[in-house]
Amino acid sequence: MSPPDRHADYFKTLNSIGIPSAMRVVGLMLLLSFLATVTFLVTVPWVQTASGFGSVTARNPNDRQQEINAFVAGRIQQWYVRDGSHVKTGDPIVEIVDNDPMLLERLAAERAQVMAKLAASTSAKDLAEIDIRRMRGLLEQGLVAQREYEQAKIRVEQARSRIAENAAELTRVDVNLSRQSLQTVRAPRDGVILSLNAGDTATFVAAGQTIATFVPDNAERIVEIFVDGRDVALLRADAEVRLHFEGWPVVQISGWPSVAVGMFHGRLLAVDPSAQNDGKFRVLVEEVVVGDNRWPDQRFVRFGSGVRGWVLLDTVTVGFEVWRQLNSFPPNFPEAVPGEANGVSGGNNAP
């Protein structure tokens, strides 16, 4: 008798119990699930993405939120706007007056005095030039000494020097008068006053101090998102970007952009050549209109609204992407493309 048969004599009860049919079904299901999972990982495509969070901003720096400063030091006389006021180009915002209420009149009187001095110096120069021409004729006739002729030349140069001094003084007075004349601060362009940063008529402001915060109208929107440094070298110029705006309903699977709902299209515009303090790189994305798919109106997505973006990279299998994520590898190891702008590089070589 063989050894297994001898063992069977000792375990007759165990041998009489068969494998339950439920366990056979569970085992078969596990096997099929394993085969289906392997097939799924090996065959199903997945679009690699580099994601990041950011916000909506203006493409032109002149269209971004900006500060309005006081041109001169003084006391606030009157506000013409309130928080949230809409202004047109040239509309008055605030009037600032000097602590000396008669300053403009005194500057005007000083200017008149300097003008009178300049006119007197000009007249003296003209007379000195006439005198030197007369001295030159008398010197040629031998009626005056050389010394008298040289003194006449000195008087002409002294008159010209006084004219130059008076002209410089007039320029100084005009500058002061021009600065003090800018006591009414006006809107640089159409826009909205976000906030007023100074008080009432008891508030003294210094020259250059911020008195209001202003946002221009009709600014072209772009999105800035911040991407991990691991992925920034893989971003390619003109790469497609999918965007999810804060407060906008969305169903998104990053690797299958075709089934996303509520997503908006963008194009990678530029990547900063250096990282932020947290090690992330800023990526600028501009709008791309695909059919009727446009970014939400500015009433719904305002400047500063939160955004999450996915930069679409190469298409790989789901298994490769899972392996990459588990090992924290970058999506690709591309070769640099000559002439690529803004520090953006591209490539399609998988590791």
Could you tell me the two tokens for 257? 């952009």
Residues 6 or more apart from 92 whose CB is under 8 A from it? 80, 184, 185, 186, 187
Q: What is the DSSP string of 206-237?
A: -TT-EEEEEEESSPPEEEEEEE-TTTGGG--T
**pLDDT value of position 344:** 46
Asked whether 337 and 260 are in contact (CB, 8 A), the reply is no
- Identify the segments of the chain with pLDDT beneath 50: 1-2, 334, 336-351
Residue spans of the domains in the chain: they are: 3-31, 44-61+220-327, 65-98+183-216, 103-181
**pLDDT value of position 102:** 64
**pLDDT value of position 214:** 85
For CA atoms 248, 270, 289, 258, give the dihedral sign. Answer: negative
Which H/E stretch holds residue 49? strand 45-58
Exposed / middle / buried, residue 176 (Cβ in 10 Å: 0-12, 13-18, 19+): middle
| d(C-alpha 340, C-alpha 232), whole Å | 14
Question: Is the model's pTM score more than 0.75?
Answer: no
| d(C-alpha 81, C-alpha 91), whole Å | 9
Helix axes 146-181, 103-141, angle to 10 degrees: 160
| pLDDT tens sequence across 192-206 | 888 887 666 667 788
**pLDDT value of position 174:** 76
**pLDDT value of position 349:** 39
Q: What are phi and psi of 123, to 5 degrees?
A: -65, -40
Q: Which CATH architecture has domain 65-98+183-216?
A: Beta Barrel (2.40)
Q: What are phi and psi of 177, to 5 degrees?
A: -65, -40
**pLDDT value of position 345:** 42
* SS3 label, residue 191: strand
Across 127-190, where does the E strand assignment appear? 184-186
Q: Is domain 103-181 annotated with CATH 1.10.287?
A: yes
| pLDDT tens sequence across 234-264 | 788 788 888 888 877 666 666 666 556 668 8
Q: Is domain 44-61+220-327 annotated with CATH 2.40.30.170?
A: yes
